[in-house]
Chains A and B, each alone.
Chain A
Amino acid sequence: DGGITQSPKYLFRKEGQNVTLSCEQNLNHDAMYWYRQDPGQGLRLIYYSQIVNDFQKGDIAEGYSVSREKKESFPLTVTSAQKNPTAFYLCASSIGWQGNNQPQHFGDGTRLSIL
């Protein structure tokens, strides 16, 4: 079954630490996305990647970094510069970026908490 796998499901970070969230897809999709969701809110875009070795900032990129070295992988690092990292993080993918009619497929998320 094709899909998106996010790991870990729960993650705890100490103050001042960087942590990396994993996102892998086997859908052969070119475009991948990272979103953040706070309680009772909708999703906000952190970063997106249209193709391998390319990525662009979304609406709330400060304090986060990404890489896209392989088509199937798009890890997100939450750096110590992100002062309020506690949230639910969701990864998604779509066949491509061009055109605005492509469904996004989501993983089941990683819940990050600060110790």
Chain B
Amino acid sequence: DAKTTQPNSMESNEEEPVHLPCNHSTISGTDYIHWYRQLPSQGPEYVIHGLTSNVNNRMASLAIAEDRKSSTLILHRATLRDAAVYYCILTDRGGNQFYFGTGTSLTVIP
């Protein structure tokens, strides 16, 4: 199973962009990169996912390195509601099993 490495915590000022990094040096060619976020005492919420090309949606952007060994989740303007634990996840080649690490706890400063 492929593993991901993320910083334990990050801080951002409100209304500024946030770049959350993830390293996945053992990624295989068919592994998708998923990002989820979790608020205390709630289930994780889907943010974005991609394979090779950069992806954008209404919540965030996902920038994937050319060699796919790292990726960055970009929140364009952080709000207080974006304070959460962000998980970078790779899926197993054989199916849709997610492998969660400990994630990055994002604090947004007003």
Counting contact residues on chain A (CB < 8 A from B), the size range is 20 to 34
In A68-115, which residues have CB < 8 Å from any B CB? 88, 90, 92, 94, 96-109, 111
Whether A100 lies near B87 (C-beta < 8 A) is: no
Whether A97 lies near B95 (C-beta < 8 A) is: yes
Partner of A94, one of B93, B96, B100, B101: B96
Q: Mark B13-52, 1 if CB is under 8 A from A, else 0.
A: 0000000000000000011101000000111111001010
Which residues from A are CB-within-8-Å of B49?
A: 101, 103
Task: Tell me if A48 counts as interface (CB < 8 A to partner B).
Answer: yes
Whether B41 lies near A96 (C-beta < 8 A) is: no
Task: Tell me if A31 counts as interface (CB < 8 A to partner B).
Answer: yes
Whether A109 lies near B34 (C-beta < 8 A) is: no
Task: Tell me if B97 counts as interface (CB < 8 A to partner A).
Answer: yes
CB of A75, distance to nearest CB on chain B (Å): 17
Task: Tell me if A43 counts as interface (CB < 8 A to partner B).
Answer: yes
Identify whether the interface residues of B are mostly helix, strand, loop, or mixed: loop
CB of B83, distance to nearest CB on chain A (Å): 16
Which residues from B are CB-within-8-Å of A90?
A: 43-44
CB of A34, distance to nearest CB on chain B (Å): 12
Whether A100 lies near B31 (C-beta < 8 A) is: yes
Q: Report B's interface with A, CB cutoff 8 A.
A: 30-32, 34, 41-46, 49, 51, 87, 91-98, 100-103
Q: Report A's interface with B, CB cutoff 8 A.
A: 4, 31, 35, 40-45, 48, 50, 58, 88, 90, 92, 94, 96-109, 111
28 of the cross-chain contacts (CB-CB < 8 Å) are A31-B96, A35-B100, A42-B87, A42-B103, A44-B100, A45-B97, A45-B98, A58-B97, A88-B41, A90-B43, A90-B44, A92-B43, A97-B95, A99-B96, A100-B30, A100-B31, A100-B32, A100-B92, A101-B32, A101-B51, A101-B91, A103-B46, A103-B49, A104-B44, A104-B96, A106-B45, A108-B41, A108-B43
